[in-house]
């Protein structure tokens, strides 16, 4: 995710630089043909470019609104994962308690296990949504035996939740929490599963191809017709007006394409690495740890 700061003109130019350059060269060729070669047939001033532009603008606005809705839903779902992870950590350290002094060390170890399983869950889900190996981020959070057991799982995040559920049930059976506390913590796991399912739905359900194909085709047609409609009135200044208008439409089209897949591991995505690190810091603080990892900082204006 690009963080707010001053405008980056180099990034702006690279955003639609090549299509914009091709459009400028095409506009220049139209002007040379009309003004130098006297190809009068190139001028088509009666093309209703204003009407076409308005229609294309409506199509782009509808598509981009749908793309942003997907991006914002993804961010909302990960906001729910943050909140429920914090709730889980709080419930673990306040609800799972020893009744006998002899159980104290065992319960503290179980608390740490439950919290670290949640940290591993978040990192595994982040990796899976980005299409990366989910176990790569779990070293240091789980034992080597755990990693070997998880290697054959199709959905590592779900497998980690199942382990949390089994461990929670064991706590209930050993009277380390009562049935109401168990139900509340199980509900937190359900909320996390709902957020995971929503994220996977966005990841596995791409935008319909028509949403990409038709707006792009309309914009290309518009950019080809625009200098023909302007050259008679604007003359040598046609590339200036045509390229500027074309830049607006090309940029808007690219914005929609960038936002429609919020888990593609690009600079425009939801910053899953930063969110996951925040969760890890919060949960490890819940356990009373002092040596915590640093929060993820933006790199070259991008928060990953």
Residue 147 and residue 135: Cα distance in Å, rounded? 7
Q: What pLDDT shows up at residue 197?
A: 95
Residue 246 and residue 114: Cα distance in Å, rounded? 55
Handedness of CA 79, 81, 84, 88 (dihedral sign): negative
Q: What pLDDT shows up at residue 11?
A: 62
Least Cα distance to 282 among 76, 118, 95 occurs for 118
119-160 pLDDT tens trace: 999 999 999 999 999 998 899 899 898 899 999 889 999 999
Confidence check: pLDDT of 163 > 90: yes
Q: What pLDDT shows up at residue 86?
A: 95
First to last CA, the chain: 6
Q: What pLDDT shows up at residue 74?
A: 94
Residue 30 and residue 27: Cα distance in Å, rounded? 5
225-238 pLDDT tens trace: 888 888 888 888 88
Contact between 104 and 194 under an 8 Å Cβ cutoff? The reply is no
What is the SS3 assignment for the chain?
A: CECCCCCCHHHHHHHHHHHHHHHHHHHHHHHHHHHCCCCHHHCCCCCCHHHHHHHHHHHHHHHHHHHHHHHHHHHHHHHHHHHHHHHHHHHHHHHCCCCCHHHHHHHHHHHHHHHHHHHHHHHHHHHHHCCCCHHHHCECCECHHHHHHHCCCCCHHHHHHHHHHHHHHHHHHCCCCCHHHHHHHHHHHHHHHHHHHHHHHHHHCCCCHHHHHHHHHHHHHHHHHHHHHHHHHHHHHHHHHHHHHHHHHHHHHHHHHHHCCCCCCCCCCCCHHHHHHHHHHHHHHHCCCCCCCCCCCCECCECC
Q: What pLDDT shows up at residue 294?
A: 87
Q: What pLDDT shows up at residue 209?
A: 80
In this prediction the pTM is 0.85
Contact between 198 and 69 under an 8 Å Cβ cutoff? The reply is no
Confidence check: pLDDT of 17 > 80: no
Beta bridge partners of residue 2, listed in sequence order? 302
Confidence check: pLDDT of 70 > 70: yes
Least Cα distance to 136 among 118, 112, 114, 120 occurs for 120
Q: What pLDDT shows up at residue 280?
A: 94
Backbone angles phi, psi at 269, to 5 degrees: -80, 170
**Who's near 294: CB < 8 A, 6+ residues apart?**
277
CB atoms within 10 A of CB 189: 18
Residue 42 and residue 19: Cα distance in Å, rounded? 22
């Amino acid at each position: 995710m690009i963080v707010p700061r001053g405008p980056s003109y180099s990034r702006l130019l690279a955003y639609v630089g090549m299509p914009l350059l091709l459009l400028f060269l095409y506009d220049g060729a139209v002007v040379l043909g009309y003004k130098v070669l006297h190809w009068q047939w190139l001028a088509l001033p009666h093309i209703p470019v204003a009407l076409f532009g308005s229609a294309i603008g409506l199509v782009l606005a509808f598509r981009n609104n749908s793309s942003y809705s997907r991006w914002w839903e993804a961010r909302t779902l990960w906001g729910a994962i943050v909140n429920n992870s914090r709730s889980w950590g709080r419930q673990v350290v306040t609800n799972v308690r020893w009744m006998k002094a002899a159980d104290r060390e065992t319960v503290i170890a179980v608390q740490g296990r439950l919290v670290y399983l949640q940290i591993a869950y978040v990192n595994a889900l982040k990796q899976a949504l980005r299409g990366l190996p989910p176990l790569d981020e779990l070293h240091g959070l789980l034992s080597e035996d755990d990693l070997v057991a998880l290697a054959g799982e199709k959905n590592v995040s779900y497998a980690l939740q199942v382990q949390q559920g089994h461990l929670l049930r064991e706590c209930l059976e050993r009277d380390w929490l009562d049935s109401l506390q168990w139900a509340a913590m199980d509900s937190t796991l359900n909320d996390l599963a709902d957020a995971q399912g929503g994220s996977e739905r966005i990841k596995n359900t791409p935008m319909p191809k028509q949403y990409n194909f038709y707006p792009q085709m309309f914009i290309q047609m518009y950019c080809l017709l625009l200098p023909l409609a302007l050259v008679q009135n604007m003359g040598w200044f046609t590339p200036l007006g045509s390229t500027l208008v074309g830049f607006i439409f090309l940029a808007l089209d690219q914005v929609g394409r960038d936002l429609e897949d919020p888990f593609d591991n690009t600079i425009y995505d939801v910053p899953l690495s930063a969110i996951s690190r925040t969760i890890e810091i919060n949960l490890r603080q819940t356990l009373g740890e002092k040596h915590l990892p640093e929060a993820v900082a933006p790199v070259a204006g991008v928060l990953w």
